[in-house]
Structure 1
Amino acid sequence: MSGYIVVPDKDLDAVLHALPEHIRLTRAECGNMTFRVQQSTDTPQRFDVYEEFIDKSSFEFHQRRVKDSFWGKVTADVSRHYDIVIATE
């Protein structure tokens, strides 16, 4: 999956505070192969996201975990713009 999120100004400090733990937890997930989040230098509210999981079920687990996490609460109002590609064998 690749894309970006746009964080409302009111949530930017909370997102920046929560991001390191979100990255740590995601990278520790079984099935996570790559996870990168980079804040834009031109537009601080924009964060580019790239992640790969070993299979669809690992990605679905990640989505469920994030939804119920502190990160999910902090980012409830962000605008998400993702392209999700599921590889087939």
Structure 2
Amino acid sequence: MLRKQIHLTGYIDVPNDRLVEINAALPEHIRLTLLEAGCVSFEVTPDPEIAGRFIVAESFACRADFDAHQIRTKASEWAQITQGIGRSYTISTSD
């Protein structure tokens, strides 16, 4: 059976009054995600044109790895710190 990679792309718009907190927590969120089983890539970078927007691009080896990431993240400090912040994501698959 062929396992399809899962890709998430999009952005998170961080309000100005929460930027310091988000920027402080982001390196640990990235570090922990890159350590996860099946994490192929994970990048969160500031948008050069829109203040407070961070571009998100992540890939996981398969749906199970992506789902495990979602479960871990929802129970993480990152989820608490970013609670209520708007996100816009698209999820796709590839061979």
Q: CA deviation at 1:77?
A: 1.8
Q: Which residue of 1 aligns with 2:25?
A: 18
Q: Which residue of 2 aligns with 1:51?
A: 58
Counterpart Cα distance in 1 of 2:67 and 2:17: 29
Provide, for residues 45-84 of structure 1, a one-character-per-residue CA deviation record: whole Å limited to 9, x for no partner: 1000000000001111111111111100011121110010
**CA-atom RMSD, angstroms?**
1.2
- Structure 2 segments unaligned to the other structure (5+ residues): 1-7
1:82 equivalent in alignment to 2:89? yes
- Structure 1 segments unaligned to the other structure (5+ residues): none
Match of 2:74 among 52, 60, 67: 67
Q: CA deviation at 1:10?
A: 2.1
* Number of residue equivalences: 88
TM-score normalised by length of structure 2? 0.86
Larger radius of gyration: 2
Provide, for residues 15-72 of structure 1, a one-character-per-residue CA deviation record: whole Å limited to 9, x for no partner: 0000000000000000100101101233231000000000001111111111111100
Structure with higher strand content: 2
Counterpart Cα distance in 2 of 1:63 and 1:46: 21
Q: Structure 1 runs of 4+ off > 4 angstroms?
A: none
TM-score normalised by length of structure 1? 0.92
